[in-house]
């Protein structure tokens, strides 16, 4: 009975395009870091606790977006998008920038085929000073 009510609520939210405000609010909990010291201010790690139904709804939306992008290649994220993507990280973005900077400072250009076609990027060495 509870599951059917939650499902009906989520279906209504999807149909009407609404993400209830209450699901966006978080409860802030401060968790002590390490041992309590007598000197200075205590150190805490802040943790935000979100509503579980909101988390479920967010996962449903993310799954539907992912399925849509898989079915529609033109809706894919840019190859330059590194955050919030499985298998990519900020380290990958830094390595890409390092590669571009290295090639352009050594050779004055960088060949890029990020979008399926080659594009020559030309830079002046003075642009880096």
pLDDT band at 118, cuts 50/70/90?
very low
Handedness of CA 14, 18, 21, 26 (dihedral sign): positive
* Residue 120 confidence (pLDDT): 54
- Residue 117 pLDDT greater than 50, yes or no: no
Q: Where are the domains of the chain?
A: 2-75, 90-128
The per-residue pLDDT for range 82-98, each reduced to its tens digit, is: 877 778 888 888 888 88
């Amino acid at each position: 009975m509870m599951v059917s009510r939650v499902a009906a609520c989520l279906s209504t939210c999807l149909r009407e395009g609404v993400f209830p405000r209450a699901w966006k609010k978080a409860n802030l909990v401060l968790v002590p870091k390490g041992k309590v010291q007598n000197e200075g201010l205590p150190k805490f790690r802040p943790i935000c606790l979100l509503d579980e139904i909101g988390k479920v709804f967010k996962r449903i939306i993310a799954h539907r977006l992912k399925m849509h992008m898989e079915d529609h290649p033109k809706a894919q994220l840019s190859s330059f998008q590194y955050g919030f993507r499985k298998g990519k990280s900020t380290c990958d973005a830094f390595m890409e920038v390092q590669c571009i900077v290295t090639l352009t400072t050594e050779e004055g250009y960088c060949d890029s085929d990020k979008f399926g076609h080659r594009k020559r990027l030309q830079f002046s060495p003075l642009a880096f000073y």
